[in-house]
Amino acid sequence: MLKPVALRKIHLIGLKGVQAQALRLWQKMGVIHITPLPAQVTGLSGGKPLADYSQVSKQLIRIRAILSQLEKTEAHPAPLPDNIIEAAQSIPIEAELMGLKEDEERLQKQVEEWSAKEKHLGRFTNFELDFGALPSNLKYTLIALNEKEAQAALAKLKRSIKDADILTAQDSAMPKTTLALIAFSPSHDIAPALEGIERLAWPDVGGTPAQAILRAQGELATLKEGLKSISRRRHDLSLEYYQTCAMLEEALSTSADLARVSMGMGESADCFFASGWIHPDELSTLEHETREAFGRQVVIKAAHVDPHHPDLSQPTLLQNPSIASPAQFLVEFLSLPKADEIDPTMITFFTIPILYGMIVGDAGYGLVSLILAFLMRLKAQKGGLLYNFAGLWMLGAIPCIIFGVLFDEYFGYGHAHILGNSLYAATVHRVENVQLLLLMTILVGWLHIALGFVLGAINEWPHSKKHAIAKLSWLPIQVGGTLAVAYFLLHATSFEIGMAGVGLLAIGMAVLTWAEGPLGLVEIPGLASNIMSYARIAAVGVAGVILAEAINKMVAPDPKLLSTPVGILTFIIIALLYVMLHVINVVIAMFEGIIHGARLNVVEFFGKFFRGGGKPFTPLAAKRRFGVES
């Protein structure tokens, strides 16, 4: 049974004088997962960061701030400087970039203000008067009226406001709105007359609105040119400094990682101590490289791990064939297995596609699945969620085609309908043999759940024989319950077989009670529910078949229509509708196949054995994209 890689635990012991050099060597090799020293270790004090950590941290923050202001440019790997701290300190553009940012924010704010002013002024261009030359002995207000109600509203205002002059014009920005400029004596209170009417902000400009707009546009042009100048300068700085800053950020980040690891190590007056995990194949290389670099100043010792009491600090490293990477991605996405439990990747590599194939069960739909998944995988970012989802979908398309051939389903047709000649008989017709199909899917669920209990027992055996026996006790419960139901409810077996099932059921329940206590029996009805959940394979599949057959019977285009021009047009319309309906059915079938197939694996199956909660194997490693050590 596949399990995560059996990593080797090692102890790393050396003189404090070479600690920094040793860490850099191990980081360069990238093979050791160093774990923080447990607090209960006696005789050792907590680790300290490396001597240059404060400068590294300070320059890392500074370089990241500079990078946040630079544009990303094309960067190629370049040799790292001998002293990355001095190289970072020599970058002289921090103050200039901050000044550019402040200027940009100031100009951008002014652009927004002038743009809003220009937009507001644009409503009044039909008033051909100088707002700055209006008599100062009067008060003024601007209102907006709906065009349909404007005439009546203006007449009412004239009656309400004595000695008022009202000048109207069409709103330039809103053609169905009438604007009105009201001039009135300061002694009049016109607020009651304007109740319920939209009042507009007074345009604070001299001259006509058209002249004010020209001034605003001039200001905007000047401001935008200033923004372009800032952008050009930032672009020039980016071309000159982005690669160097990216390389330094990477190198400083790598040094900061060393400080983090160093703080998790133990120290005495003269020595440092650390524990870690390594792939067995890398141990001899690590020992050789360390011995070559430091001689007897650093010692690497393999540690003993009790198989009955696994080390909780052990990380998990999954190692599966590359073809199973989508299934491994799904497992890691849900929860990484612990280092001492079964890796379900290769199981889900088979079970998820098989359940998907049984649900969709149409060779034509399977072919469409394969093509769509392939195209999606080409477009998706490699290693991402969509990329792995498409890979899992491609795997499911293969059994989908196989089951489609067995069920004799090709876009809802039998092969004889397409070829005009029958070559074979369907193993199961999903509409005509629903009972047999239900029995098949429940049997699949029965076997799937039983496998889960076996895997659960294997997982538990090294830790607790009693818990492992409890897992195995579910097998006689499952077998006995099935035989008892077959006789007492379905009358499908003999009395002897039914009673044998009752006996097996009683034995399993007794063992479960001994191992888990009486509360364990409460879960027995849940077992029946888990197995019956697999009936959804048949239910969802039959629904898809019925819909496909209905589309074929009701909407399939008739070639006889091609005899007349009108018939050809009708044929094209019907054909498009026919294809569209099948596309919808394909999408529904594929979506439900993926959802239900994954659910049955994750909820019903994983619940019988999978714990998860593992810590990933993350070796100390230098991440190099921009810098190359000379």
What are the residue boundaries of the structural domains of the chain, listed by start?
Answer: 129-207
Does position 627 have pLDDT exceeding 60, yes or no? no
| Partners of 616 in the β-ladder | 316
Nearest to 287 by CA among 62, 12, 50, 540: 12
C-alpha distances in angstroms, 248 versus 82, 86, 93, 410? 11, 10, 14, 59
**In 3D, which of 300, 305, 274 has the Cα closest to residue 6?**
305
Q: Which tokens sit at 549? A: 């057959």
Closest CA to 390 of 373, 378, 406: 373
Rounded Cα distance between 295 and 17, Å, is 13
**Stronger pLDDT, 267 or 234, i.e. the higher one:** 234
The SS3 of residue 123 is helix
| β-pair partners for 628 | 79
HSE (side-chain half, CA atoms, 13 Å) at 180? 24
**Residue 296 identity (one-letter amino acid):** R
- Mean pLDDT computed over 510-519: 89
What's the CA gap between 446 and 591, in Å, rounded? Answer: 24
32, pLDDT greater than 70: yes
What percent of the chain is predicted at pLDDT more than 70? 97
Q: Indicate if the pLDDT at residue 46 is higher than 80.
A: no
Which residue, 438, 412, 446, 425, is CA-closest to 358? 438
Confidence of residue 161 (pLDDT cuts 50, 70, 90): confident
Per-residue pLDDT of 55-112, as tens digits, reads 888 999 999 999 999 998 877 777 778 788 888 899 999 899 999 999 999 999 999 9
Other C-beta atoms closer than 10 Å to the C-beta of 84 total 24
Other Cβ atoms less than 10 A from the Cβ of 175: the count is 9
Of the candidates 242, 230, 241, the residue with the CA atom closest to the CA atom of residue 105: 230
pLDDT of residue 325: 92
pLDDT score recorded for residue 452:
93
- Residues 515, 517, 522: CA angle, nearest 5 degrees: 115
Where b means 16+ CB within 10 Å and e means fewer, 43-54 reads eeeebebbebbe
Residue 629: its pLDDT value, please? 60
More confident residue, 510 or 80: 510
Residues 195/161, Cβ–Cβ less than 8 Å: no
Both tokens assigned to 566: 């009108």
What's the average model confidence in pLDDT over 122-138? Answer: 85
Top-confidence range, 123-127, 300-304, 406-410? 406-410
* Residue 153 near residue 198, CB atoms below 8 Å: no
Segment 515-544 shows an average pLDDT of: 88
Highest mean pLDDT among 1-5, 193-197, 326-330: 326-330
Residue 399 has pLDDT above 60, yes or no: yes
The reported pLDDT for the residue numbered 628 is 57
Cα→Cα distances 317→247, 338, 340, 404, Å: 30, 9, 11, 37
pLDDT of residue 45: 67
E strands, 49-134, are 78-79
Q: What is the pLDDT of residue 479?
A: 92
Q: How many of the other CB atoms lie within 10 Å of CB of 160?
A: 13
pLDDT of 288 above 70 = yes
Per-residue confidence (pLDDT) for residue 198, from 0 to 100: 87
Angle at 232 between CA 226 and CA 236, to 5 degrees: 145
374 band by pLDDT with thresholds 50, 70 and 90: very high
Rounded Cα gap, residues 595 and 587, in angstroms: 12
CA–CA distance, 122 with 173 (Å, rounded to integer): 7
Cα–Cα distance measured from residue 287 to residue 110, given in angstroms and rounded to the nearest whole number: 65
**Average pLDDT of the residues of the chain:** 88
Least Cα distance to 59 among 81, 29, 79, 75 occurs for 81
| CATH architecture group of domain 129-207 | 2-Layer Sandwich (3.30)
Longest dimension (CA), the chain: 114
Q: Which two tokens stand for residue 348?
A: 């889900």
Question: Tell me, what's the pLDDT at 193?
Answer: 85
The answer on pLDDT for 475 being more than 70 is: yes
- H/E run at residue 160: helix 150-160
Residues 556-564, mean pLDDT to the nearest whole number: 81
- Which three-class secondary structure string do you get for 415-441? HHHHHCCCCCCCCCCCCCCHHHHHHHH
- Provide the pLDDT for residue 516: 87
3-state secondary structure 347-375: HHHHHHHHHHHHHHCCHHHHHHHHHHHHH
Beta strands in 195-331 (DSSP E): 198-200, 266-267, 271-278, 298-302
List pLDDT tens digits, range 214-245: 999 999 999 999 999 999 999 999 999 998 89
Q: Average pLDDT for residues 39-43, to the nearest whole number?
A: 55
Is the pLDDT at 41 greater than 60, yes or no? no
pLDDT band for 478, please (50, 70, 90 cuts).
Answer: very high
Q: Residue holding tokens 């792939």?
A: 279
CA atoms within 13 A on the CB side of 14: 24
Q: How far apart are CA 290 and CA 279, in angstroms?
A: 16
Q: To which residue do tokens 């680790």 refer?
A: 47
> How far is the C-alpha of 508 from the C-alpha of 485, rounded, in Å?
16
Tokens found for residue 403: 């089951």
Region 385-392: what's the mean pLDDT? 90
pLDDT average, residue stretch 192-208: 83
- To the nearest whole percent, how much of the chain has pLDDT over 90? 36
Which pLDDT value is given to residue 328?
92
pLDDT at 283 over 90: yes
